[in-house]
Amino acid sequence: QPLRVVLLAQLATVGWLSAGSCAFEDNTCGYESDFAFLPWILNEEGHYISVDTSLGSQGEKAALSSPELYSEDWSCIRLIYQIATVSESSPDTTRLNLYLRLEGESLDHLLWTAKESSDSWLITSLDLKNSTKKYKIVLEGLLGEDNFASIAVFEIKITTGFCIECDFEENHLCGFMNRWNPNVNWFVGGGNVQNSQSVLPRDHKLNSELGHYMYVDSVYIKHFQEVAELVSPKTTTPMSGCLSFYYQLQQESGIVFTLYMRDITGFYEEIWKKTDSMMNVGWSLAEVDFNAPYYPMEIIFEVAFSSANGGYVALDDISFSPVYCSNQTELSFNAEEASCNFEENLCNFYQDKKDGPGWSRVKVRPNAYRAGDHTTGLENHVFQEKIWSVLETPRGVWTQAEITFKKPMPCKVVFVSWCKSFWDCGLVALDDISVSLGSCQAAEILPSIPGECTFERDECAFTQERRNRSSWHRRRGQTPTSYTGPKGDHTTGVGYYVYIEASNMLYGKKARLISKSLRGISGQLCLTFFYHMYGAGTGILNVYVKKLDDNKETLLWRRMGEQSITCLRGLIEYKCDKPHKIIFEAIRGMSIRSDIALDDIMFQAGPCKGKLELITILSLGIS
For the segment 561-577, what is each residue's pLDDT rounded down to a tens digit? 999 988 999 999 998 88
pLDDT at residue 195, as a whole number? 57
Burial code of 122-136, b = ≥16 C-beta within 10 A, e = fewer? bbbbbbbeebeeebb
Single out the residue of 441, 446, 464 nearest to residue 109, CA to CA: 446
pLDDT at residue 1, as a whole number? 34
Q: 381-406 pLDDT, tens per residue?
A: 443 333 334 555 556 667 777 776 66
pLDDT at residue 91, as a whole number? 65
pLDDT at residue 259, as a whole number? 94
pLDDT at residue 469, as a whole number? 84
What gap in Å lies between CA 427 and CA 383, rounded to an integer? 7
pLDDT at residue 470, as a whole number? 86
pLDDT at residue 9, as a whole number? 35
| CB-CB contact of 344 with 371 (8 Å) | no
Single out the residue of 520, 511, 510, 570 nearest to residue 545, CA to CA: 520
What gap in Å lies between CA 562 and CA 128, rounded to an integer? 46
Q: 306-347 pLDDT, tens per residue?
A: 776 767 889 999 999 988 887 654 455 566 677 777 777 777
Which residues of the chain carry a pLDDT beneath 70?
A: 1-17, 87-91, 191-199, 224-225, 252-253, 275-281, 308, 310, 327-336, 352-359, 361-397, 404-411, 417-427, 437-450, 610-623
pLDDT at residue 280, as a whole number? 59
Phi, psi torsion values for 491, nearest 5 degrees: -65, -55
| CB-CB contact of 544 with 587 (8 Å) | no
Residue 433, number of CB atoms within 10 A of its CB: 15
Which domains can be identified in the chain, with CATH numbers? 2-160 (2.60.120.200), 173-321 (2.60.120.200), 333-445 (no CATH), 452-619 (2.60.120.200)
What gap in Å lies between CA 102 and CA 67, rounded to an integer? 12
Q: 61-81 pLDDT, tens per residue?
A: 899 999 999 888 899 999 999
**Inter-residue long-range contacts of 35-41, CB under 8 Å, 24+ positions, other chains counted:** 36/63, 37/61, 37/62, 37/63, 38/62, 38/141, 38/143, 40/64, 40/139, 40/141, 40/153
Rg (CA), the chain: 29
Kindly give the residue spans of alpha helices, DSSP state H, lying in 189-327.
none
Distance of CA 84 to the CA centre of its chain: 26
pLDDT at residue 138, as a whole number? 95
